[in-house]
Structure 1
Amino acid sequence: MKKNNGFSLIELMIAVSIMGILAAVIYPSYTEYVAKGGRADGISAVMRVANLQEQFYLDNRQYATDMNDLNLGADPFVTDTGLYSVDSTGTTSFIVVATALGKQASRDSACITIQINDIGEKSPAECWE
């Protein structure tokens, strides 16, 4: 009786091909998941600035003309993760726009800009889901 130690070449090729198929299915889902996670950062920043604009309006009866008026420092300000740059302008109305930067811009090409205005219109709609 001959004792068999190890794997045959066919067994190894089957295992490698199964891993290749799994990777081909999993990788696109993973990149979409990462893009949506980054997009949540952009949406959060846009909502924060819109809230600050409304607070500024209550105090001054006009919207802030730049981000310095909202005590956010830089104009435009960059989110903590560095994935989005957020800018807002206004006097009688405002628009807050988050623009994807770096990797996020290439990962999430459908939602490079996310915006909201003073009456709550959000665009593009598919980015807010």
Structure 2
Amino acid sequence: MKQLQSGFTLIEVMITVVIVGILASIAYPSYTQFVAKGARGDGLAGVMRVANLQEQFYLDRRSFTTDMTELGLSVDPWVVENTYYNVDTTLSGDDYTVTATAVGVQATRDSACATISLTSTGAKSPTECWK
């Protein structure tokens, strides 16, 4: 009478490990790009929020400000909710530029969009980061 064996051989386990390793090496770069783009969305939202606050400040006082606390934010420079971007404002004459600068792991993960800016005239840079 034959005896049935159950279980996996070492070769079967090694083939499974190799397949999982190949899938992980393909999936991980896509995953990090997805996470970086998601964090960038929070930076873009922060830039838009500060720009809106600047416009409201201008309606109230007929000037722009570089002090984020005057806009009602807690600190200067302001840190967005996910803490991957610092948002600050610079003035040039009667115009402002709101800039979000990536910090920490986001600066290396999303180096093409490490600095995102919006001017009072509506110019966005870099344009590929706003898509």
* TM-score of the aligned structures, taking structure 2 as reference length: 0.93
1:77 aligned onto 2:78: yes
Contact 2:89 2:99 in 1 (8 A): yes
Contact 1:77 1:85 survives alignment (8 Å): yes
- Distance in 1, Cα, partners of 2:63 & 2:48: 18
Tell me the CA shift for residue 4 of structure 1. 1.4
Tell me how many residue pairs correspond in the alignment.
129
* Whole-Å separation in 1 of the counterparts to 2:35 and 2:66: 33
1:22 aligns with 23
Q: Secondary structure of 1:85's match?
A: strand
Contact 2:96 2:120 in 1 (8 A): yes
| Contact persistence 1:66–1:89 (CA under 8 A) | no
Which residue does 1:46 correspond to in 2?
47
Under a length normalisation based on structure 1, what TM-score does the superposition of the two structures give? 0.94
Structure 1: 5+ residue runs without aligned partners?
A: none
For residue 71 of structure 1, what is the amino acid of its counterpart? Answer: G
How do 1:34-113 and structure 2 match up within 5 A? 34-90=35-91, 92-113=94-115
Q: Is the 8 A contact 2:100 2:116 kept in 1?
A: yes
**2:32 pairs with 1:31:** yes
Q: Residue 33 of structure 2 aligns to which amino acid in structure 1?
A: E
Q: Give the match for residue 2 of structure 1.
A: 3
Report the residue type matching 2:57 in the other structure.
Answer: F
Identity of aligned residues (%): 57
CA distance in 2, matches of 1:69, 1:88: 12
Deviation beyond 3 Å, 4+ runs, structure 1: none
Please state how far the C-alpha of 1:68 moved relative to its aligned partner.
2.1
Runs of 5+ in structure 2 lacking a partner? none
